[in-house]
């Protein structure tokens, strides 16, 4: 069962990575503008990054109990996926504005805080 969970999670991560690398697919499918680097970065993070984070969470998911660990894991993996996609956007699209730097800082802080909290709960 754990192997199936891992494979499904990694497939979802792969789909998210594909969307993060090809934001025009999301823009075309949803009619979203991607005419500015910041808009393209947001498409990468919002759709590809979220999917990567959910896939990583699915691959990692240890079980529903305790609830706090599950929720912290979901938060941490989601923020990590979004952050990775945003960094891909920084590298490919360039020109991140101040808001993009605020978002990446928040994503890193929330992912790190989630890891810290999960470790504290484990003791």
Model confidence over 40-81: pLDDT tens digits?
999 999 999 999 999 999 999 988 889 999 999 999 999 999
> Residue 70 is part of which domain span?
2-122
pLDDT score, position 47:
97
Per-residue pLDDT tens digits for 78-114: 999 999 999 999 999 998 999 999 999 999 999 999 9
Task: Count structural domains, the chain.
Answer: 1
**CA quadruple 19, 25, 29, 34: dihedral sign:** positive
In angstroms, rounded to a whole number, what is the distance separating the alpha carbons of residues 114 and 118? 6
The pTM (predicted TM-score) of the whole model is 0.93
């Amino acid at each position: 069962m754990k192997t199936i969970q891992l494979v499904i999670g990694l497939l979802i991560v792969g789909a998210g990575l594909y969307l993060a690398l090809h934001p025009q697919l999301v823009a075309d499918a949803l009619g979203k503008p991607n005419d500015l680097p910041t808009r393209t970065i947001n498409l990468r993070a919002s759709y590809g990054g979220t999917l990567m984070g959910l896939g990583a969470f699915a691959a990692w998911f240890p079980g529903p109990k305790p609830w706090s660990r599950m929720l912290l894991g979901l938060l941490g993996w989601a923020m990590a996926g979004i952050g990775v996609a945003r960094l891909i956007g920084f590298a490919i699209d360039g020109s991140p504005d101040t808001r993009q730097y605020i978002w990446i800082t928040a994503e890193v802080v929330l992912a790190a805080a989630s890891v810290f909290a999960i470790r504290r709960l484990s003791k």
